Structure formats: structure tokens, C-alpha cells
Chains A and B, each alone.
Chain A
Amino acid sequence: MTTSTLPSLVICEHCDSVYHRAPLTRGQRARCALCGASLYRHSRASPETILALSIASAIVFLIANVYPVVEISLQGMANGATLWQAVLAMASGEAAPIAVPVALCVIIVPGLQIGLLGWISAYATAGRPAPGGIGIMRFLALLRPWSMIEVCVVGILVSIIKLWSLAHVSPGEGMWAVGALMVLLPLIAGRDLRVLWETFDARPSEPSSAP
């Protein structure tokens, strides 16, 4: 049996309607006429842009992990909390297992997304499919729903307000980095990774083996 790919067609993810892919202009988005779901957007990002944004994200991600995101002082005593300390604070006591999803959602998954997208886009920039690329792309699709940097930013802000009346609290250096990551990450790790998938199309079509 053979499976042929039809890049000129788009099938709606949410209702299986089939469309011919039409070229879009800047800022346009194609929607499904039946169910209203977004089909695809005009893609601005080239592999070079994705690579540059991945590098920027990686730097910001490192800062976010090293510096405290919030600082507090209470009666002359000062303390700061990094993302890792927030995870560790959950890891003790009766609710300890919750530390695992917290670490995944705010540190491990975003970190993996940045590293893997950097790897794929570096090869894509050179016009080659990355080694292990298809497996990595499938893994990235699996990771996407579990990346929660934006929730983390709001969580830090709510924490600051929560402690406002008790002590002097202020955002730390890490907070600005997490905020920057909230803007950068959706640009590269969004739903539509078509530009990167296309690097795996470019190969001359190898004859599929029929049974």
C-alpha cells in the first residue's frame, strides 16, 4: 500500500472538511467554512527567524532559571524565589507529587521546546532536515499543550499582590526574563509549525515500496 501526500489540500482538524490551499497575504488567516476553526495563517517566520528567536529564548530562559523571579523583605530579613525554588517548595510535605507537573510546565517543557526548535531550525536554515527531526517534531507536538509560561507570569503577579500587605515584595531580575519568554515562546512554539515541517518535504520523493 502507498500513501501519497497532497500539500495543495488542507483538511480541517476539527471537522474533516477538505479545502484547496490558497495563498494568503500578510496577517490573513484561513478559516473552515463549516466549523469556523483556523486552518492556517500567512506564515511570516522563516527558519532563520525561528533560529534567531530560539537563541534569544534560550538566553532569556537561562536568566529566568538563575535569577529570582520575586524578592521579599520582612522586618529586615530578605529572601528571593527562583523558579527552581518554587518547584522545591512544592516537593516537600503531603502535596509533594505536584512538584513534578509544576517543574514540567514552567521549566522542563519550555526548555525542551527551545532546545529542540533551535536544533530543527538550525538545520532548516542550512536547508537540510535535522537528524532525528521527524521524531523531534512529533515530540514537540506532544509537548505544546503542557507549556505554561504565560500562566506562570500571571501566577507570579498574583503572588506579589497576595503578599503585598504583609511584606515588601518586588519582582526580581528573573521576572523580566519570564515575561520576555512569555512573548517569545508562542512566536516559535505555536500550533502551526508548517515552516519547519516543510524542511522534511524537500527531499526528492523516494519511491514508496508497494506490497
Chain B
Amino acid sequence: MGLARCHVCGMSCESDGTDASARRCGRCGAPLHGVRGDRMGASWALLLAALICYVPANVMPVMYTQLLGRGSENTILQGVAEFWRSGSYGIALVIFVASVAVPCTKFMSLGLLLIGAQYKTPWKRRERAVLYRLVEVVGYWSMLDVLVVAVVAALVKFRALGDVEPRVGILFFGAVVILTMLSAMQFDPRLTWCGDDR
């Protein structure tokens, strides 16, 4: 009953008191929690905010490119299409996966995990546990697009000859990555195993 894992240092702790709010890890002093069902609202809210930011992230340009006097603005998908047309299929695929496939999979996975936890369903628990770990491992790779814009913008600084500047779309895209990461952190994976048929 009083046995719990410290979420900070991983130590197994046993406390003999009944006052759950005062339980702290015997090694590092972090508060010991049971399953954090109370954070689901925050997880939903962050996921929704990420979903909203994903619209301007795709619609608005992420980069302004000026070469020999000709300037143009590009969205993420236009950038992918450009790579594809020029024959760099591998790079087009890498950017497509990082900027479209990963965020969309994350939205759906987190939504599925949250709904499953809400209804305490025993449906495919093991698969849902794997899904959560996948979201954790893959999630931050979406930052790739932001870093590409940063490096290219820093590199192409030749005034009239050529210039690259970031545009507001990349700010929204960065917000999507950060918000989905925070949403995944608010979700307690132990929720998947709550309910009947344990």
C-alpha cells in the first residue's frame, strides 16, 4: 500500500503514514505520488493548444529566401515539395516525417492514450504502453525543421546576393513541438493500467 517509486531518482520507497500528501522519497526528498489522474486535464489542454498552433505552422511561411534579387516565402510543405522535385527524395522524406508524420502521429497517440485512460478500458493495454514510449522517444525529432531554418538562415547571409530569414510559421511549429512534449510529460503512463482486468 505504502510502496511507491520515486519519479525523480527511481528509488522504491515505503512509507508507513496515512497522510499521502506528506510522503517524500527517502533518498532525494521528492514528493511521492500515486497515479496522477489529476494531470489529465493539463495534458488535454496542452495537446489542444498544440493542435491549434499546428494550423498556422503549416499555413504560414517558415522561411524567406532571397537569391540574386528574387525573393520567395516557403511553408514547410512547399520546402518538402521542392526537395522532392529536385530529386532529393531521401531528404524530402526525412523532413516530411519530422514535420508532418511525427506531429500527426503524436496528436493521435496522445489523444488515444488520454481517451483510453479516461474510460479505464482494458483494451490493448500493452500496445498503448508501447505507444506511450514511442511518443517519448520520437517526439523531440520534430525540432529538426526549426534547427534547419536556424542553420540555413545563419549561413546564407550575402546581402544582395542571397539572404535567408526565418518567418513566423517556424515559431508556431516550435510551439507545437514544445506543447506536445509537455502534454506527453503531463500524462502518467500508469493510467493505462488503471481499471479492471489488471
Task: Tell me, in angstroms, the Cα distance from A7 to B126 when the chains sit together.
Answer: 27
Task: Tell me, in angstroms, the Cα distance from A156 to B149 when the chains sit together.
Answer: 10
Question: Contact partner of A37 among B133, B157, B158, B161, CB < 8 A?
Answer: B133
| Cβ B9 vs Cβ A3 within 8 A | no
Is B48 on the interface with A (CB-CB < 8 A)? no
List of B residues within 8 angstroms of A148 by Cβ: 140, 143, 147
Is A105 on the interface with B (CB-CB < 8 A)? yes
Contact with A along B83-112 (1 / 0, CB 8 A): 100101001001100000000000000000
| Cβ A155 vs Cβ B25 within 8 A | no
**The stretch of A46-54, A59-67, A79-87 that contacts the partner chain:** A79-87
Task: Tell me, in angstroms, the Cα distance from A190 to B23 when the chains sit together.
Answer: 27
Task: Tell me, in angstroms, the Cα distance from A72 to B9 when the chains sit together.
Answer: 45
Question: Contact partner of B154 among A18, A88, A158, CB < 8 A?
Answer: A88
| Cβ A163 vs Cβ B155 within 8 A | yes
CB-nearest residue of chain B to A13: B5
Is A22 on the interface with B (CB-CB < 8 A)? no
B interface residues, tally (CB under 8 Å): 73
| Cβ A87 vs Cβ B26 within 8 A | no
CB-nearest residue of chain A to B153: A89
| Cβ A197 vs Cβ B30 within 8 A | no
Question: Contact partner of A5 among B23, B27, B35, B171, CB < 8 A?
Answer: B27
Question: Contact partner of B150 among A7, A34, A89, A166, CB < 8 A?
Answer: A89
Task: Tell me, in angstroms, the Cα distance from A197 to B9 when the chains sit together.
Answer: 7
Is A126 on the interface with B (CB-CB < 8 A)? no
User: Chain B nearest CB: distance from A198 CB in Å?
Assistant: 9
User: Chain B nearest CB: distance from A94 CB in Å?
Assistant: 4
A interface residues, tally (CB under 8 Å): 74
Interface centre among B29, B126, B146, B161 (most CB of A within 10 A): B146
**The stretch of A96-104, A116-124, A180-188 that contacts the partner chain:** A96-104
Is A15 on the interface with B (CB-CB < 8 A)? yes
User: Chain A nearest CB: distance from B169 CB in Å?
Assistant: 8
List of B residues within 8 angstroms of A137 by Cβ: 8-9, 28
Is B4 on the interface with A (CB-CB < 8 A)? yes
Contact A98:B166 (CB < 8 A) given known A1-B16, A3-B24: yes
| Cβ B151 vs Cβ A95 within 8 A | no
| Cβ A14 vs Cβ B86 within 8 A | no
List of B residues within 8 angstroms of A92 by Cβ: 165
Task: Tell me, in angstroms, the Cα distance from A87 to B4 when the chains sit together.
Answer: 42
Is A24 on the interface with B (CB-CB < 8 A)? no
Task: Tell me, in angstroms, the Cα distance from A102 to B166 when the chains sit together.
Answer: 13
Task: Tell me, in angstroms, the Cα distance from A81 to B148 when the chains sit together.
Answer: 12
| Cβ A35 vs Cβ B126 within 8 A | yes
Task: Tell me, in angstroms, the Cα distance from A105 to B35 when the chains sit together.
Answer: 29
List of B residues within 8 angstroms of A138 by Cβ: 8-9, 28, 30
Q: Would you mind naming 8 contact pairs between A and B with Cβ atoms under 8 Å apart? A: A35-B129, A37-B133, A89-B166, A98-B146, A145-B185, A151-B147, A163-B152, A197-B28
Given contacts A6-B13, A16-B193, A197-B11, 11 further A-B contacts (CB under 8 A): A1-B15, A3-B23, A3-B24, A5-B14, A5-B26, A79-B157, A102-B174, A105-B140, A197-B9, A197-B27, A197-B28
Interface residues of A (CB under 8 A from B): 1-7, 9-16, 18, 34-37, 69-70, 72, 74-75, 77, 79-82, 85-90, 92-98, 101-102, 105-106, 134, 137-138, 141, 145-146, 148, 151-152, 154-156, 158-159, 161-163, 165-167, 169, 192, 194, 197, 200-201, 208
